[in-house]
Structures are given as structure tokens and as C-alpha cells.
Amino acid sequence: GASKEKYATESSAMTSTYVSFNATRRSNARFAFVAACALTAIVAGVLLVTTEASPMQSGIRTSARPTMGIRHMPGANFGGLSRRQGCKNANLRSIFSSAAFELPPLPWDKEALKPHMSPETIDFHYGKHHAAYVNKINDIVTGTDKESKSLTELILEEKSGGLFNSAAQAYNHEFFWKCLSPSGGGQPSGAIAEAITKDFGSFEEFKKAYDAAAVGHFGSGWVWLVKDGSGKLSIMDTHDAETPITKGLTPILTTDVWEHAYYIDYRNARPKYISDGWWNLVNWDFANENYAA
């Protein structure tokens, strides 16, 4: 009898121990599951916050500064460019830095200029070449007293050298984009049409002279329609980064004749770029604004 009682007691103790062990194991499993869920939620939250704090689009970094474009010097007129601060920096740099200059947005969608200028040309010309000049400006001016200056101030003060080249090219490109329009082309109207007839004899004579300057320009550069202090129009070409504002002239229109402006669409056929591209996109409304300013 004592032996049976002892066996029953030991069996009961073992059963109790087994039940307790299983309960503990189930409790630990539930704790591990809850902990894993909590950790997943925390990680997801961090990723969400990080994504919202660092928006990226098409490889272009957004800056903490909301303003973009080109700022003017007080009282100065340089061809109708907006009174804004500076540019949205392309290339993937630290999303937490604040650039002095930002790449300005295009005045139209990159698809809008087809078939005269392809989206691929815009991607390279605007997204890489124009953006590179803006990045270079920031590399040079960050941490100096030049950081607070406008593009036109940098251009007029520097006159030559690396900073001048980058600032002038940033200025020239922003002006160039505004010279193009999906609804452009054809013959001008309004005051600019009258001025062209007055100073060149006719639109046909003006176009012939502009073509000769654009096609005949040797090497890289720009061709411009400009206005002097008396209001007289003339055509000029500039090499590399040179720009008419250094000569006190008001830009009315410009054509980029660097090869990167047309090589994807027209290869080395600059005359075709001028005839099939430029003259089908030229923004006469912008020209009228600049002439009236």
C-alpha cells in the first residue's frame, strides 16, 4: 500500500512538472511572437519616417529650401528670368544638406517637346549637364560669403574662371529652357515682330542671319538675339559659358549650340537641329516679355 501511495505521489509530481513546463514554454512562445511583432512594427515605422523625410524623384535630390530658379540683383533686368533663389541639386548627395543653389524646374514636361526634342535629350541635357553646373557652384561657394549671392551677381563679379563658368552656364541654361515651348515656332507677332522687321528688314532676313550665326559658330557656345540700351536688336554668338549680360545687353532669345544640346536627336547635324528643332519650338511669347522688360 505504501509503495502504491509513493508511486501515485511521484506520478502526480511528474505530471504537475510536465504541465508547468508546457505552460512556461507556451508563455515564452507567446512572448517571443509579441516581441517579434513589436520589433517589426518599429522597423516599419522607422522606414516609413525615413522615406517621408527623404523624398527622391528621378535621381534628383530635393532640398530643404523650397525656392528655386534665378534671383536677380535688385533693379536689374536680365531677360525675364524669375526672381527666385537658386536650384534643385541633382546627383545623389546628402538629403540633409541645404544647397545655396537649386536646379530650377523645367517650364514644361520633358515629353512635351517631341518630336523636335526628345525626352532622352532633356534627361541628359537638363538632368546631367545643367545639374552638374549647379552642383559645381555649390561645391565652390558653400561656406563662403559668395553663398548668399545670386547667379547674376556671381557672373558680373567673377567675370572668368571656374565659378564664373558654372554660374554663367546655369544662367544660360535656365534662360534657354524658357526659350522653348511646345506651342512655339512659326513667325513672331507683337512688339518683337515689329522690332525684328525694323532692325533686320524682315523676319526672313533675320532668320537667315540667325541660322548663319548658329550653324557657323565654331565649337561650343550660344547664339543670342539681344537688345541694347537704345532698344536696338542684334544677333551675337558667345563661346563656352560667355553670356550677354556681362556686356550690358538684354537677352531676348538664345540657342544652345553645344553638341550635348542636340547630339542624341540629330547627331552632328547642327543645321538640322536649328531648322527642325529650334525653329519649331522658339517661344515668341517669352521673347516679347524680354523685349518689353
Tell me, what's the pLDDT at 95?
34
pLDDT at residue 203, as a whole number:
98
Q: What pLDDT does residue 73 have? A: 34
Alpha carbon distance 84, 150 (integer Å): 9
- Classify residue 122 by its DSSP letter: H
What is the residue-level pLDDT of the chain in tens, covering all 293 positions?
A: 545 454 444 545 444 544 454 545 555 555 555 555 556 555 444 343 333 333 323 333 323 232 233 433 333 344 444 333 333 333 333 333 467 999 999 999 999 999 999 999 999 999 999 999 999 999 999 999 999 999 999 999 999 999 999 999 999 999 999 999 999 999 999 999 999 999 999 999 999 999 999 999 999 999 999 999 999 999 999 999 999 999 999 999 999 999 999 999 999 999 999 999 999 999 999 999 999 99
Alpha carbon distance 209, 217 (integer Å): 12
Alpha-carbon span 40 to 85, nearest angstrom: 42
Do 233 and 200 touch, CB atoms closer than 8 A?
Answer: yes
Q: Which amino acid is at 109?
A: D
Residue 91: enclosing H or E segment and its boundaries? none
CB neighbours of residue 143 within 10 Å: 8
**Number of Cβ within a 10 Å radius of residue 291:** 25
Q: How far is CA 169 from CA 72, 136, 175, 212, 240, in A?
A: 16, 11, 10, 23, 8
- How is residue 101 written as a grid cell? 543653389
Instruction: Tell me how many helices (H) and strands (E) the chain has.
Output: 11, 5
The DSSP string of 9-24 is HHHHHHHHHHHHHHHH
d(CA 52, CA 149): 31
Distance between terminal CA atoms of the chain?
Answer: 118
Whole-number pLDDT of residue 266: 98
pLDDT recorded at residue 85:
38
Residue 279 grid cell: 525653329
Measure the CA–CA gap between 94 and 63, rounded to whole angstroms: 9
Quickly tell me which residue has 538675339 as its cell.
225
Q: Give the pLDDT score at 76.
A: 39
Query: Under DSSP, is residue 221 helix (H, G, I), strand (E, B) or coil?
Result: strand
What radius of gyration, in Å, describes the C-alpha atoms of the chain?
Answer: 32
pLDDT for the residue 219: 95
**Closest by Cα among 181, 137, 140, 132 to 287:** 181
- Amino acid, single-letter form, for residue 132: A
Query: What does the alpha-carbon distance between residue 24 and residue 18 come to, in Å, rounded to a whole number?
Result: 10
- Residue 35 has a pLDDT of 59
